[in-house]
Amino acid sequence: MIIPKYHLKKFFFATATTAMALTAGTANSQTAILQRSVQLTVQNATSGCVRIYFNNAQYDVQSLRSTSFQAVSNFNIMASVFRGACGGTATRNVWHTTNQDQGSQTWTVK
């Protein structure tokens, strides 16, 4: 039986596409398993204001105060440190990544 080259190419393309789809589905399910809920408390230990950027919103934490967020593991959060009140030009930006192993975490911005 003679199989034309066109049919062989079509068969191999379909096989490769199916394998890629199965691999992508497996990777997505593993990513969902690895993300856990994390209770993150952010403490401001500076003499100024700290602005937290979280879930497309910003939250201001005054000096020597704290606030809590519900996040997922391996989540990057940025905070800007300001002199005095929040706003204007930040003196510096700091980053924190939530830890997968701990359900409750505290991030102290100094």
Q: Are residues 48 and 3 in the same domain?
A: no
* Same domain? 43 vs 92: yes
Domain of residue 17: give its range: 1-34
Q: Could you tell me if 99 and 84 lie in one domain?
A: yes
CB 55 within 8 A of CB 76: no
For residue range 93-109, what is the model confidence (pLDDT) as tens digits? 999 999 878 889 999 99
Does the pLDDT at position 84 exceed 70? yes
Q: What's the total number of domains in the chain?
A: 2
Query: What is the pLDDT, as a whole number, of residue 105?
Result: 94
**26 and 1 together in one domain:** yes
CATH code, 73: 2.60.40
pTM above 0.75, yes or no: no
Which tokens go with 29? 């399910």
Tokens standing for residue 70: 């519900």
pLDDT score of 103: 86
pLDDT digits (tens, 9 = 90+) for 25-55: 555 555 555 678 999 999 999 999 999 999 9
Alpha carbon distance 96, 108 (integer Å): 10
